[in-house]
Structure 1
Amino acid sequence: MTFRNGLDSLLRPQDSVLVLIDHQPAQLANLNSHDPHMVVNNATGLAKAAKIFGVPTILTSVIADRGGLIFPQITSVFPGQEVIDRTTVNTWEDPNVVDAVRATGRKQLIIAGLWTEVCVAMPVIQAAGEGWDVTAVTDASGGMSVESHEVAIQRMIRAGANMMTWFAVLAEWQRDWARTEHVAELSELFMEHAAGSGIAFFWEQQLLNTPVPRTAA
């Protein structure tokens, strides 16, 4: 197994493609590795970051007529976009998904989904074996237990995949705050989805826009 380092190993928005897998009610009902609210928040934040940076995003569900539609928080980020509904447990065995990813012409494949041990691990391991540069976003995913989530992470690492959190993905896409074209949108994203960091940013803006009281004469 070969591990890559250096600047070229970091994520670039122009080379990235995101696949969000099975963020559906049936899976959320048995999500026990994380607070479900956090996973919904993080997956939504990741989706919004992808849209801000122009990263193609493929949405896929499994048997949606029984498992439920993808969370509206995510689909609302991409209004009108078709969700690829599968019967395969392994997303990477569905040719519609693979063809959609290949059509983007990108090789940095980023995956998040429910559950980590099944719907994330299977495509990550297969795609990594086929030569894709694969990253799993662990906090925009979740498993049936803490153990199953963590064991899946270990298995994916051994298969040569990268593990990241959603905010780290955003940071690598941005890379330099001198790149100001997305700063306004990212500021909004921070306030909506970055918890304490977002609130601190909001507070900073409040303080910067509060006049300093004049000293009494």
Structure 2
Amino acid sequence: MTANLLTPDNHALLLIDHQYLQLLTLRSHEASQVINNAQAVAKASKIFGIPTLLTTAIAERQDLIKEIQDVFPEQVPLDRTTLNTWEDTRVVDWVRQTGKKKLVMAGLWTEVCLLLPVLSALADGYEVYFITDASGGASREAHDMAVARMIQAGAVPTTTWSYVSELQRDWAREETAGEVTKLFEEHGGGFGQGLRWEWQLLGLKEGTR
């Protein structure tokens, strides 16, 4: 196994400020696509048992996006006043308690609520990955410049389905393969529709035997 690959047991996940105000002012991506991807990432973390922290900012004014909160009905998002999630000691304490040195993050907006904790966690010696298409900025330029700055600082970019596939990595892992296939079906866009078509064709073949 390659040491630089993400596995279900070698990292923790932070989903940062996927809230309605940030979503409504999103201009780097289609809001529906970011919701879809962030929900897929959240569901994948549940499937693989990855320690996951949800955060919000000034939660009395806006909830976490329902599609993400519904994946974690038992978790009350950690509510902050700091723009930099990493400057809230409860977040850092939670990360330390997981014992993980690799962190994966996604958030709104890329240029503030994702960028700042990524840079801070890197400075504290963590290996940080960020999911570009489960995040988004107030403009395409703001998102792109934040991505470039995080990469320059040493963070590793990835995307939703690359992340999910990296966790599964072998369809012979039957304990998660079925749920991951269902995740692709529900949230995988064209590929998900292709799976449904393939299953339909297989069903027709079986019916003619």
Shorter chain as denominator, the TM-score bin is over 0.9
State yes or no: 1:165 paired with 2:150.
Answer: no
Per the alignment, residue 57 of structure 1 pairs with 52
Tell me the SS of whatever aligns to 1:142.
coil
Distance 1:213 1:88 in 2: 59
The one-character-per-residue Cα deviations of 1:8-30 (angstroms, maximum 9, x if unpaired) are 11111101110000000110111
The answer (yes or no) to whether the contact 2:168–2:180 under 8 Å persists in 1 is no
Distance 1:212 1:102 in 2: 52
Aligned partner of 2:118: which letter? V
Q: CA 1:213–1:60 in structure 2 vs 1: closer, same or farther (change >3 Å)?
A: closer
Tell me the SS of whatever aligns to 2:27.
coil
Aligned partner of 2:171: which letter? W
Answer with 1 or 2: which has the greater Rg. 1
Aligned partner of 2:36: which letter? N
Tell me the SS of whatever aligns to 1:58.
strand
The one of 80, 100, 103 aligned to 1:106: 100
Q: CA 1:184–1:145 in structure 2 vs 1: closer, same or farther (change >3 Å)?
A: same
The one of 95, 117, 122 aligned to 2:111: 117
Aligned partner of 1:32: which letter? R
Q: Once superposed, what is the RMSD of the aligned Cα atoms? A: 1.5
Distance 1:26 1:127 in 2: 25
> How big is the shift at 1:133?
0.8
Q: How does 1:203-214 map to 2 (within 5 A)?
A: 203-211=197-205
The one of 82, 87, 107 aligned to 1:88: 82
The one-character-per-residue Cα deviations of 1:147-205 (angstroms, maximum 9, x if unpaired) are 00000000000110000001111111112122121111111111110001111111111
Distance 2:74 2:159 in 1: 27
Q: CA 1:63–1:7 in structure 2 vs 1: closer, same or farther (change >3 Å)?
A: same
Per the alignment, residue 21 of structure 1 pairs with 16
Tell me the SS of whatever aligns to 2:195.
helix
Runs of 4+, deviation exceeding 3 Å: 211-214
Identity of paired residues, percent? 50
Q: CA 1:180–1:147 in structure 2 vs 1: closer, same or farther (change >3 Å)?
A: same
Aligned partner of 1:158: which letter? Q
Q: What residue ranges of structure 1 are gaps of 5+ in the alignment? A: 1-5
Aligned residue pairs: how many? 209
Tell me the SS of whatever aligns to 1:88.
coil
